[in-house]
Amino acid sequence: MIRRGWMIFLVLMVWVPASADIYMYKDASGQIHFTDSPNAHHIDIMGARPLEKPKMASSERVWSSTAYDTLIVKAAERYNVPFALVKAVIHAESGFNPRALSAKGAKGLMQLMPVNIIFYKIKDPYDPQENIMGGCAYLKHLLTDFQGNTKMALAAYNAGPTKVKHHNGVPPIAETQAYVAKVERFNKYYSVN
């Protein structure tokens, strides 16, 4: 009887339409979480575990995962890069925050490094359209350079092409390995949603 109940539950879960938006929030300890509900601040969807309800600071903001879809489609078509892959990189890099700035100086949605901002002649790296176009151009370059090997291109996007070429694959850097796995997971999600 219990198995039958689980079967019905699983069937119902398949029939429930998936929401297109994924929201990001930061808990009291500063950890970032993603959810499909802007009000579900007490659930860590990616880790599937309950969290303590954090008190949201009034200055904190959540970013919609669909806000830049039109720009992503345009850039993906221009550079012949899969839409889902571009969106996955944006999700992993900035959590859809167009004003994101890393400690290493990477800027905007696709976290472009200063050298790429100069190379791709990006005037305003915080402008979503410029950032996505530049990020797509760079991603296409990496995919071409690594003969379509997505894992290696993603590793190069994170750690730089020199390290990937030196190791002839994803380098043994924990951050890079986690980054590649995260983007692949998001890519799979956006490919079907």
| Residues labelled as active-site residues | 93
Which of these, 98, 92, 85, lies nearest to 129 by C-alpha position? 98
Q: How far is Cα 90 from Cα 68, in angstroms, rounded to an integer?
A: 10
Task: Classify burial at 116, counting beta carbons within 10 Å of its beta carbon; exposed 0-12, middle 13-18, buried 19 or more.
Answer: buried
Token couple for 41:
């601040």
Q: How far is Cα 48 from Cα 35, in angstroms, rounded to an integer?
A: 10
Q: How far is CA 176 from CA 57, 80, 87, 180, in A?
A: 31, 24, 18, 6
Q: How far is Cα 193 from Cα 135, in angstroms, rounded to an integer?
A: 22
Residue with tokens 């999600």: 189
Give just the sign of the alpha carbon dihedral 26, 32, 36, 42. negative
